Amino acid sequence: MATVFQNCVPETFSDLFLNGSQITSVLANVVQNATFQFDQTLRFDQPEIPTSNFDYCNVTISYNHAEENNTIIVETLLPTDNFNQRLIAVGGAGFVAGRGLLQQWQMLANLAEGYATVTTDAGLGTSISADSWALLSPGHVDLQKLQNLASVSLNDLAILAKQVVHAYSGAPPLYSYWNGCSQGGRQGMMLAQLYPDAFDGIAAGAPAIYWTETMFNMYWSQLYMSMIDQYPYGCELKAITAAAVAYCDPLDGVEDGIVADSDMCLEHFNVSSLVGTTVEDCAQTNGSVKISKAAVMVAHATWQGISDLQGNILWPGFGIATDIASGTASTICNTTTCSMDVSESYGIPANWLQLFVAKDPDFNLADLTLDEFISMFNNSKREYSSIIETQNPDLSEFSQLGGKLISFHGLSDQDITPKGSRYYYQQVKLATDGIQDFYRHFEVPGLAHCFGGTGGQPTSLFAQLRAWVENGTAPETSPISFTYQNVTYENLLYPYDGDL
């Protein structure tokens, strides 16, 4: 341990280099007896790990790109004991490229397993919103910072972190991995598409690919409620979801609280039959309410997805078993009325529409019409697809370099429709030969956005990615467990076949 402690000084990293950039600061210090606790489902695709009484080296690099007035920070944590000579980069969330509290938790857990681990803030800070950096001035988006979030910072991170590991341990990492969900999943997909040599293996959960579609789909239910000027109580929507699950759960032959096939459920379930039925103990009213026609309309619109003035579906909606009341169709209520919810995570699509599409932080979303919404959708596609859409299905170079990609998506994701991941896999299958040799996609019934929900966490997937990269063992199944009515179910996930 003494040797690595001695290496944890700035002088060890004096030869770091990043082409086209200036490294302005390198800090290195030892952290001893680290102990922390967090909800370990936030590891997404990795198992629980004890996280107490361990030491590590923190190397924090500040740099800027030529001709950019922007400081980017890459933070690498290195184990002082039992280093397995492998590197894991962790992805971001919302408009956070990384280096937030979630990433710190995930990195410390990686350290406890013997990995070096790294994150970048892309020069954006750690706020989940883009308020502080999106606009240079009203009408002018900071495209350099958006480009850093979308792609450039990711390759920078890979280049710098590998140098840090080499300088610290005397050898480059044997294998390097990316692991992220949501924004982090999109980042992983962008790496496979644009920087295919950056990582040997990529785990991408619930990826926010098809960025414009994802942002507008997250806002669609709010727009729909605004258009009909009706905002249902959350308890109405929760009752609708519960009724759908109760009706469709047996359709797969096992009553386990899980809807395995949302599309089949949607075909069979008559949501209109719920209008006028009573919801007891409504949390928003402290009493009973009847399910309104508006609540049924909102649920159906959320399941269906974005549609234009002619009724054409522009992007598919959410699974019928999704808790939409806690997702895109959430509302802010008192005991008598409800209103639009653009708080917290639903501020993310509002940010995109206001700051990047309208380019006006004061743009009034409450008065947005369907025609204006569709126009903004099309403008967003035209203006930003080449930067952040993350939709290129040609992964041939990633495949030829030996890279392996595992993605997963919860079928009860309340933020990003799993149908986007499914569609992307289909497109890669059409564009790239031998998809099963390098890319497997797993759909997880009952799983919400990255974690939570009624299904279990796919906690073996990252280990399976590593086995695929290092031993050539492709994942034919992945185990999952969950509890329903005090019974624990042990199931197997199978890779999606990509059939159109």
Of 34-38, 120-124, 282-286, the range with the highest mean pLDDT is 120-124
Indicate if 4 and 120 belong to the same structural domain: yes
The whole domain housing 418 covers 1-211+388-493
Say yes or no: 141 and 160 in one domain: yes
pLDDT confidence of 1, banded at 50, 70, 90? very low
Give mean pLDDT, residues 456-469: 97
Q: Is residue 28 part of a domain?
A: yes
Do 185 and 228 sit in the same domain of this protein? no
State yes or no: pLDDT of 342 exceeds 70.
no
From 413, 421, 460, 478, the catalytic residue: 413
pLDDT tier for residue 343 given thresholds of 50, 70 and 90? low
* pLDDT tier, 3 (very low <50, low <70, confident <90, very high otherwise): low
Is residue 125 predicted with pLDDT exceeding 50?
yes
pLDDT for residue 345 = 47
Q: What mean pLDDT comes out for the span 108-133? A: 95
> Does some domain include residue 393?
yes
What does the pLDDT look like over 160-211, one tens digit per residue? 999 999 999 999 999 999 999 999 999 999 999 999 999 999 999 999 999 9
Q: Does residue 199 share a domain with residue 123? A: yes
Boundary of a domain, candidates 347, 364, 384: 384
Segment 228-262, tens digit of pLDDT: 999 999 999 999 999 999 999 999 888 999 999 99
Number of Cβ within a 10 Å radius of residue 49: 13
| Final residue in a domain of this structure, among 319, 353, 384 | 384
For residue 69, what pLDDT is reported? Answer: 84
Q: What is the mean pLDDT of the chain?
A: 94
Question: 197 with 318, same domain?
Answer: no
pLDDT above 60 for 390: yes
Question: Is the pLDDT score of 471 beyond 60?
Answer: yes
Q: Is residue 463 domain-shared with residue 371, that is, in the same domain?
A: no
Q: Are residues 217 and 278 in the same domain?
A: yes
How high is the pLDDT of residue 4?
Answer: 64
The single residue of 153, 182, 407, 460 carrying the catalytic annotation is 182
pLDDT in tens, 97-117: 999 999 999 999 999 999 999
Q: Which of 32-46, 197-211, 276-290, 452-466 has the lowest mean pLDDT?
A: 32-46
Q: How high is the pLDDT of residue 346?
A: 61
Residues 238 and 117 in one domain: no
Q: How many domains does the chain have?
A: 2
Residue 182 is among the residues annotated as catalytic for this protein: yes
Residue 253: the pLDDT is: 87
Q: Is the same domain home to 90 and 32?
A: yes
Q: Is residue 417 part of a domain?
A: yes
Q: What is the CATH number of the domain that holds 442?
A: 3.40.50.1820
Same domain, 199 and 219: no
Residue 61 belongs to a domain: yes
In a domain, 364, yes or no: yes
Same domain membership, residue 316 and residue 205: no
Q: Are 225 and 159 in a shared domain?
A: no
- Catalytic (active site) residue 140: no
In this structure, is residue 225 part of a structural domain? yes
Tell me: the pLDDT tens digits for 266-315?
999 999 999 999 999 999 999 999 999 999 999 999 999 999 989 999 99
> pLDDT class for 5, splitting at 50, 70, 90?
confident
Check pLDDT > 90 for residue 121.
yes
pLDDT at 398: 98
pLDDT tens-place string over residues 134-166:
999 999 999 999 999 999 999 999 999 999 999
Position 112 in a domain: yes
415 is catalytic: no
Q: Which of 121, 412, 449, 478 is catalytic?
A: 449
* Residue 306 confidence (pLDDT): 98
Residue 98 falls inside a structural domain = yes
Work out the pLDDT band at 344, boundaries 50, 70, 90: very low
Last residue of one domain, picked from the residues 326, 349, 384: 384
